[in-house]
């Protein structure tokens, strides 16, 4: 009989976790150390030259971090992963590995406001330039590609609007142009969506959100799909060219399908330094053990709340792909078969002031700038997360003046609905 491959639920509990070889502790320990003893001078030399893999310094890697990386790579179906200090750090290290000064990348305009700000302003200081496309129209990505393009960046489920992006079509456009597709899978999690199955080459997450699930730690991760040919175009010399940091070694030739993740670690994380704290890696690793259970409840509750809001007289529209009325319902069935997410937006008929009043009137919900907690969360993006954008860009990002974003938690759904109902009455 062939050996059965572990299911997603089993991997969420066991991937990357082994009894500690010294103490036999079953839980992954928090390796709260800055550095590690070498077995010999030869061992040290081999580690620094990448002839052997192992621990040198916690800025570069840590055993608690390694367990987290193995677990997320297994859940996403990737070949390797790199955990870092935050989701923004994951994006920065990814682009640091892919881009050259003067290079461009194409990104969906429907993104988290912080990502739009990072791409528009901070990346410019490195002379990495973003060109914007419409996540609802794959052809707009093709129109923005030129010889300078190094990557395409999208979210699987767009934040805050809840748009389901046609990953497969955009992946085809990226590959026809010889560039990788990067997918931020934070909103869906690998329980909700598996972008590698549809042609994605790199996945990034803010682990702070649903993956950790408790709102108690910050982290990000980069997952290598292992299928992109980094040598074909000559655009990626850090991965598929002589690496001056390692005596001219070509990491793609030496490491194959884990070369992108390793380059992110040994060039990006090593030199830029946004290391994840061992305690945060431990907390997120433990949070992932309940990911399938939590996400099933998140999705179930979100659909019930969206249906309630769709009929409320104070609400003008609801953007949730799980609703049969949604224009993204067909894409949701394809890409998110377990549920269309737990974060969505809705519009209030009385506009900006009503949105501000609503978030001030909730009692069970927490008014804060995060998503993905076990608790239900709410925010008015136009006055907070997207406030740095122009009025036009707010509308393009799905964060107009009437928009309220909710992240539906795992409480009893009747209590969630009751709190929204009293807050809408107050607003």
> DSSP characters for 303-371?
HHHHHHHHT-TTEEEEE-TTSTT-TTHHHHHHH-TT-S-SEEEEEETTHHHHHHHHHHH-SSSEESS--
- Per the structure, the complete domain to which residue 101 belongs is given by 8-287
- 3 inside domain: no
Q: Tell me what pLDDT residue 1 has.
A: 65
**144: helix, coil or strand?**
helix
| Calpha distance 47→53 (Å, rounded) | 6
Instruction: Kindly state whether residues 308 and 378 are assigned to the same domain.
Output: yes
Instruction: Kindly state whether residues 251 and 340 are assigned to the same domain.
Output: no
Residue 18 in tokens: 């082994």
How many other β-carbons are positioned within 10 Å of the β-carbon of residue 300? 16
Instruction: Kindly state whether residues 245 and 328 are assigned to the same domain.
Output: no
Instruction: Kindly state whether residues 26 and 52 are assigned to the same domain.
Output: yes
pLDDT digit string, tens, across residues 29-72: 999 999 999 999 999 999 999 999 999 999 999 999 999 999 99
| Calpha distance 230→259 (Å, rounded) | 9
How many other β-carbons are positioned within 10 Å of the β-carbon of residue 146? 10
pLDDT digit string, tens, across residues 380-400: 988 887 677 788 877 876 778
Q: Tell me what pLDDT residue 21 has.
A: 87
Instruction: Kindly state whether residues 187 and 41 are assigned to the same domain.
Output: yes
Characterise 220 by phi-psi region: left (phi > 0), alpha (psi -120 to 50), beta (else). Answer: beta
Of the three residues 287, 315, 349, the one that is the final residue of a domain is 287
Instruction: Kindly state whether residues 183 and 281 are assigned to the same domain.
Output: yes
Instruction: Kindly state whether residues 110 and 238 are assigned to the same domain.
Output: yes
Instruction: Kindly state whether residues 156 and 251 are assigned to the same domain.
Output: yes
CATH classification at residue 316: 3.90.1150.10
Arithmetic mean of pLDDT, 220-239: 97
Beta pairing, strands 366-367 & 377-379: parallel
When divided into structural domains, the chain yields a total of 2
- 1 inside domain: no
Q: Which of 148, 137, 145 is nearest to 109 (CA)?
A: 137
Arithmetic mean of pLDDT, 188-198: 98
| pTM for the whole structure | 0.94
- 2 inside domain: no
Instruction: Kindly state whether residues 352 and 277 are assigned to the same domain.
Output: no
pLDDT digit string, tens, across residues 9-26: 999 999 999 998 889 999
């Amino acid at each position: 009989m062939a050996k059965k491959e572990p299911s997603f639920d089993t991997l969420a509990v066991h991937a990357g976790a082994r009894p500690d070889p010294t103490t036999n502790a079953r839980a992954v320990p928090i390796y709260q150390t800055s550095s590690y003893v070498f077995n010999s001078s030869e061992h040290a030399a081999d580690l620094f030259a990448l002839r052997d893999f192992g621990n040198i310094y916690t800025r570069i890697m840590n055993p608690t971090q390694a367990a987290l990386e193995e677990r997320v790579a297994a859940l996403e179906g990737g070949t390797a992963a790199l955990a870092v200090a935050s989701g923004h750090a994951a994006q920065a290290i990814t682009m640091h590995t892919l881009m050259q000064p003067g290079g461009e990348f194409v990104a969906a305009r429907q993104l988290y406001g912080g990502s739009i700000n990072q791409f528009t302003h901070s990346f410019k200081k490195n002379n990495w330039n973003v060109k914007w496309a419409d996540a609802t129209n794959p052809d707009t990505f093709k129109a923005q590609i030129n010889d300078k393009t190094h990557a395409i960046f999208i979210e699987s489920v767009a934040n805050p609007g809840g748009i389901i992006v046609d990953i497969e079509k955009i992946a085809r456009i990226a590959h026809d142009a010889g560039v990788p597709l990067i997918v931020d899978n934070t909103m869906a999690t690998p329980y909700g969506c598996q972008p590698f199955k549809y042609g994605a080459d790199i996945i990034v997450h803010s682990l702070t959100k649903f993956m950790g699930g408790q709102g108690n730690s910050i982290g990000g991760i980069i997952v290598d799909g292992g299928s992109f040919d980094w040598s074909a175009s000559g655009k990626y010399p850090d991965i598929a060219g002589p690496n001056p940091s390692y005596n001219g070694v070509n990491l793609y030739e030496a490491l194959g399908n884990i070369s992108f993740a390793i380059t992110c670690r040994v060039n990006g994380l090593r030199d830029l330094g946004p290391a994840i704290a061992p305690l945060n890696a431990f907390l997120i690793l433990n949070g992932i053990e309940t990911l399938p259970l939590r996400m099933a409840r998140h999705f179930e509750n979100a659909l019930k709340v969206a249906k309630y809001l769709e009929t409320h007289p104070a609400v003008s529209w609801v953007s949730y792909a799980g609703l049969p009325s949604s224009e993204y319902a067909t894409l949701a069935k394809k890409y998110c078969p377990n549920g269309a997410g737990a974060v969505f937006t809705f519009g209030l008929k009385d506009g900006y002031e009503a949105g501000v009043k609503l978030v001030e009137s909730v009692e069970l919900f927490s008014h804060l700038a995060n998503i993905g907690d076990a608790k239900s969360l709410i925010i008015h993006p136009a006055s907070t997360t997207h406030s740095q954008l122009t009025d036009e860009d707010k509308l393009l990002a799905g964060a107009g003046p009437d928009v309220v974003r909710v992240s539906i938690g795992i409480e009893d759904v009747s209590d969630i609905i009751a709190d929204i109902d009293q807050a809408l009455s107050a607003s």
